[in-house]
Amino acid sequence: MVGDAIVPRDGGRDGRADIGGISGAFYDAGRQQLVAVSDDRTRPRLLRFNLRVAPVVEVAPAGVVQLQPPHQGRRTFDLEGIAPGRADHVYVSSEGDPRDAAEPAPGIYEYRRDGAFVRSMPLPRVYLGSGGDTGMRANGALEGLSASPDGRRLFAAIESSLRQDGPEADFDRGATTRILVYDLRGSPGRPREYAYRTEPLQRPVFNEPTGDTGVSEILALSGAELLVLERGFVRETAAVGNARTANTIRIFRVRLDDAAEVTGRESLVESPPTAVLRKELVLDAANIAAELSAPLRALENFEAMALGPRLPDGRATLLVLSDDNFNAHQVSAVVVLAFATP
């Protein structure tokens, strides 16, 4: 581990903090800035930070850009991922429930960096649901987003299984979710789809534990290789005194495989995949918890990843960022890891 830094909060406008809710990020090497999204539903925005990784890790707010939700009649927008696009454009993913008009509409959208809406990316019909028990789950929809280094592909990840693809993960089994791959050369068409299996929830020694887990972020290392961040949260429901909680943060490396392709399948229960993407564990954050700053040692709500600037010795860096949920008892933070790129 290289180091970490707590992101400072600020007063923002009307006393509301501008900095918080970091749920996706990428590093802009040309501007030497970190660009992130905040999942504040009432005030969706891009956040910019100046970042140094040596000799110590330092992060400082450098600007805020408001985004106008793209849907008529929906004033909320639940940003969960961001990826760089062509010129000064970015792609963002929004989570929500497509069947509830009061909820943010899930989708993937292209914006200019000044906040102007450009277009929506096409989503397969089965993701939005057609009534009944189909489509993405509320608060388990589009989460991870990343562009390949050459800008030719855009990857998106669904946090949990589609309703028709099987149950959500629990303490006994993982869930089968999907990773989408868009070809950005020309007009984006229907994405390719790949089956991915999450890990089960880790069971702590709690009284009647409950929780959830899923894909929180993805990071494209090439046009065919990804890092996948799985985040789990468990809480104690039958406690005497203060209820305990536990976070699990694990990063896996996967490579696209034709055997795991499920493009066009309406249900992975009725049409099971031949295989799921094979995973290699890269990091279990529990193994580095003791090296983190004191506020992070219980493992925060980490849900963003980005490749950062190189270290003075030439090594690449992996940035892992936490979402403070706008909670005074949590923090936004950047953890910097030395990383061997493929």
Average pLDDT over residues 29-54: 93
Task: Give the separation between CA 182 and CA 152, rounded to whole angstroms.
Answer: 8
Global confidence as pTM: 0.94
Could you report the per-residue pLDDT of 139-177, keeping only the tens digit for each?
A: 889 999 999 999 999 999 999 999 999 999 999 999 999
Q: Which residues pair with 189 in a beta bridge?
A: none
pLDDT of residue 68: 84
Average pLDDT over residues 313-321: 96
Q: What is the DSSP letter of 32?
A: T
Q: Give the Cβ contact number of residue 70 at 10 Å.
A: 18
pLDDT of residue 132: 72
Q: How many domains does the chain have?
A: 1
Average pLDDT over residues 273-284: 97
The alpha carbon torsion through 58, 309, 49, 183 (nearest 10 deg) reads -150
The sheet carrying 58-66 orders its strands as: 22-28, 33-38, 45-52, 58-66
Residue 42: pLDDT above 60?
Answer: yes
pLDDT band at residue 245, thresholds of 50, 70 and 90? Answer: confident
Half-sphere exposure of 258 (CA within 13 A, CB side): 0
Percent of the chain with pLDDT over 70: 92
Residue 104: pLDDT above 90?
Answer: no
Asked which of 51-65, 88-102, 142-156, 313-327 is least confident by mean pLDDT, the reply is: 88-102
Higher per-residue confidence, 110 vs 71: 110
Task: Give the separation between CA 96 and CA 256, rounded to whole angstroms.
Answer: 27
Average pLDDT over residues 235-244: 79
AA letter at 77: F
Residue 15: pLDDT above 50?
Answer: no
pLDDT of residue 328: 87
pLDDT of residue 195: 98
The sheet carrying 316-322 orders its strands as: 3-6, 333-339, 316-322, 302-308
Average pLDDT over residues 289-307: 95
pLDDT of residue 243: 81
Average pLDDT over residues 65-69: 88
What is the residue-averaged pLDDT of the chain?
91
**In CATH, what number is assigned to the domain containing residue 124?**
2.115.10
Give the domain range for residue 68: 3-339
Residue whose entry in the numeric block shows the structure tokens 């506020």: 295
